[in-house]
Chains A and B, each alone.
Chain A
Amino acid sequence: MTGNKVLIADDEIHIIHVVAIKLRNNGYDVVSANNGAEAYDLACQEHPDVVVTDYQMPLMTGIELIEKLRANEATRDIPVILLTARSFAITEEQQESLGVATCLSKPFSPKELLKSIQDIIYQRQLTAAP
């Protein structure tokens, strides 16, 4: 068990479902939200180690969610993985300025997502180590 928590935000329940199964099978705790607003509230409550968010969601888009997370001191440093079905949804400069750790295009591979999450958590652990 890794003990790490991942927040998944996507309005497609099947995406949430398959990602949750994959992560739980690999020892992660998973919390999920169907829109950006709900995701932000959960992030503030649960303090996940990683947020995985879709680009386009009702009420609050993925980009708006990231901006809000960055504006909040409590959630500013949470790494974010952006899932998008749009080509060229976000430029490298935007990715850097928003602090998006990784951008994955849909359709994505659950294996690839898992590896990205593992890499991010490993890097944070290295950085945090005394």
Chain B
Amino acid sequence: MKSHRGFVWVAVAAAVASLSIAALTELLGCGIAAGGRSEWLVLRLAIYTIGAVGVIVLGWTCHRFDGVVASTAMLLTRRDPQSSQEATIPEVEELPEAVKAYVAAREALVEQQQKDLCDLQIRARLAERQKRQTEAILYSLRDGVVVVDELERLIMANEPAAQLLGFDPEAARGEPIAKVCGEIHKDFVEFLHQSALSKAEGTRREMVFASPEQLRTFDTIVSCVQEGQKTSGVVAVLHDITREKEVAQMKNDFVSHVSHELKTPLASITAYSEMLMDGEANDEETRKEFYGIIQTQAERLNRLIEDILNISRIESGLIKVAKEPVSLTILIEQQMNMIQKYAQEKNITVTRQTPIVCDQVYADKDMMSQVIVNLLSNAVKYTPPGGSVRVAAEVDETGDCVRVTVTDTGVGIPEEELKNLFGKFYRVAANNKHAKGTGLGLNLVKQIVEKVHNGRVFVTSKVGVGSTFGFELPLAAAELATAAV
């Protein structure tokens, strides 16, 4: 259309110009006829040449003008800039409408783009908020979290992870994780690397990390973040299982200890029974001795099982408690008599301070007997031959509670072990060689005194000098008065 219109313009211009020049030339020819003919020929040639050039220039200009009009018309008349269809080029008389349409379309486009921009801004704010919420969650976790990108550079790490791996999370952002963690944690870095290569969704491994206080074990889970076929990053979560491992180990040790303790009296019972059945006890006296041993060992076995069960019952709150006013002096006396034989075998003297007058406590007699005998037997067990054990009871300054102490000249306990002493299954490693035990006795003492009787246990000790174990209980009068209020 454009080129066709152009040619029309040129043709019209050429026709007009030709006619004009011919007319002019004829008019000039008539006037010059009287003159020389050759000069007239040159003049006519010159005029025709100038005319032809002028026509060409005129035609080209029209053509260009036509192109500008066509382009402008196209811009003005296009309704949809994104449309692939060619717009209708308006005629010149249609231009005002075309301009209006163009402006309206542009305004609509601007409005749409502003809307889109607004949407994008809202989404960006929402994304930023979600990011902050996610970061807040990650940063508040007690588990360590480390995130690296596809090039194994640190994207983020929360405080527990940073503390464990020894870096500043802000300063290390963007750095290669191998550089951030260093040689000391190369196993962890290698684990991340292998997981990224394998594109595994979740790989789990127990890893040990060195900290200033101790070696700590972490359950480490590493997952790849995939975008299509490409790994966009790796996330590692480190869950501290040190305490769980310790507890599991303590339980294993406990089971091992308990089975040993249970099997020992059982071994005696079995062996003596077999001897009796095989007639190895030659006389009545020997047989009686064997029967007696079987009986005491069976009782020992029973006590051990009861200890284990009692601890379990106290902890679960299922134990039956029969509280009554009880004289601590009498209880102490009774248990001292029971322990005397054992003490004499080791040449240990067990003495008691002058009994106090006000010693009545509101307590379960059997349980308190257990407490006192446990403390006494421990004192004798861990005191070398020739040593001494002293039992004392006194009313405290307030007059509301009675304090009982058992002091020995035994091997003593290291300071750092005192806080764990009343824990279940806990045994002082350094004292294992001096005596055996299940690690239940003191725990049972604590459970009975504190949980059942609202009292308090305590211990002081010095290695090589001895230990003082004790407990406090409310006096019966004070307890009953409190109950009445």
B 263-279 to A, binary, CB cutoff 8 A, 1 in contact else 0: 11011111110110010
**Assuming the A-B contacts A58-B433, A59-B433, are A109 and B260 also in contact, with contact meaning beta carbons closer than 8 angstroms in the complex?**
no
Distance between Cα atoms of A86 and B436 in the complex (Å): 14
- Mark out the residues of chain A between 94 and 116 whose CB falls within 8 Å of any chain B CB in the assembled complex: 106-111
Q: Does B121 contact A (CB under 8 A)?
A: no
Q: Chain B residues in contact with chain A, CB under 8 A?
A: 256, 259-264, 266-272, 274-275, 278, 280, 293, 297, 432-436
What A residues does B256 contact at CB under 8 A?
A: 86-87
Asked if A106 and B433 sit within 8 Å, CB to CB, the answer is: no
Asked if B274 and A106 sit within 8 Å, CB to CB, the answer is: no
Q: Does A11 contact B (CB under 8 A)?
A: yes
Interface size on A, residues (CB 8 A): 23
- Mark out the residues of chain A between 7 and 32 whose CB falls within 8 Å of any chain B CB in the assembled complex: 11-12, 14-15, 17-19, 21-22, 25
Q: Does A74 contact B (CB under 8 A)?
A: no
Q: Which 6 pairs, one residue from A and one from B, show the smallest C-beta to C-beta distance? A: A85-B263, A107-B270, A107-B267, A106-B267, A85-B260, A14-B268
Asked if B263 and A106 sit within 8 Å, CB to CB, the answer is: yes
What A residues does B269 contact at CB under 8 A?
A: 107
Q: Which of A14, A85, A86, A109 has the most CB of B within 10 A?
A: A14
Asked if B271 and A107 sit within 8 Å, CB to CB, the answer is: yes
Q: Does A75 contact B (CB under 8 A)?
A: no
Asked if B263 and A58 sit within 8 Å, CB to CB, the answer is: no
What A residues does B433 contact at CB under 8 A?
A: 58-60
Asked if B272 and A85 sit within 8 Å, CB to CB, the answer is: no
A 64-92 to B, binary, CB cutoff 8 A, 1 in contact else 0: 00000000000000000000011100000
Distance between Cα atoms of A56 and B259 in the complex (Å): 12
Distance between Cα atoms of A15 and B256 in the complex (Å): 20
A interface secondary structure, majority = loop
What B residues does A19 contact at CB under 8 A?
A: 271
Asked if A15 and B271 sit within 8 Å, CB to CB, the answer is: yes
Asked if B270 and A22 sit within 8 Å, CB to CB, the answer is: no
What B residues does A58 contact at CB under 8 A?
A: 432-436
What B residues does A18 contact at CB under 8 A?
A: 268, 271-272, 275
Would you give 29 A-B contacts (Cβ < 8 Å), ordered by A? A11-B436, A14-B271, A14-B297, A15-B267, A15-B268, A15-B271, A18-B268, A18-B272, A19-B271, A21-B275, A21-B280, A22-B275, A22-B280, A25-B280, A58-B434, A59-B434, A60-B433, A85-B263, A85-B267, A87-B259, A106-B264, A107-B266, A107-B267, A107-B270, A108-B270, A109-B270, A110-B271, A110-B274, A111-B274
Distance between Cα atoms of A53 and B278 in the complex (Å): 24
What A residues does B270 contact at CB under 8 A?
A: 107-109
What B residues does A107 contact at CB under 8 A?
A: 263, 266-267, 269-271
What B residues does A17 contact at CB under 8 A?
A: 293
What A residues does B271 contact at CB under 8 A?
A: 14-15, 18-19, 107-110
Distance between Cα atoms of A87 and B255 in the complex (Å): 10
Which residue in chain B gives the minimum CB-CB distance to A83?
Answer: B267
Distance between Cα atoms of A18 and B278 in the complex (Å): 13
Distance between Cα atoms of A110 and B275 in the complex (Å): 8
Q: Beyond the given A15-B271, A106-B266, A110-B271, could you list 4 further A-B residue pairs with CB under 8 A, ordered by the A residue number?
A: A12-B268, A58-B432, A107-B270, A108-B267
Query: B288: shortest Cβ distance to chain A, in Å?
Result: 14
Query: A88: shortest Cβ distance to chain B, in Å?
Result: 9
Distance between Cα atoms of A70 and B280 in the complex (Å): 34
What B residues does A86 contact at CB under 8 A?
A: 256, 259-260
What B residues does A108 contact at CB under 8 A?
A: 267, 270-271
Distance between Cα atoms of A19 and B432 in the complex (Å): 26
Query: A59: shortest Cβ distance to chain B, in Å?
Result: 5
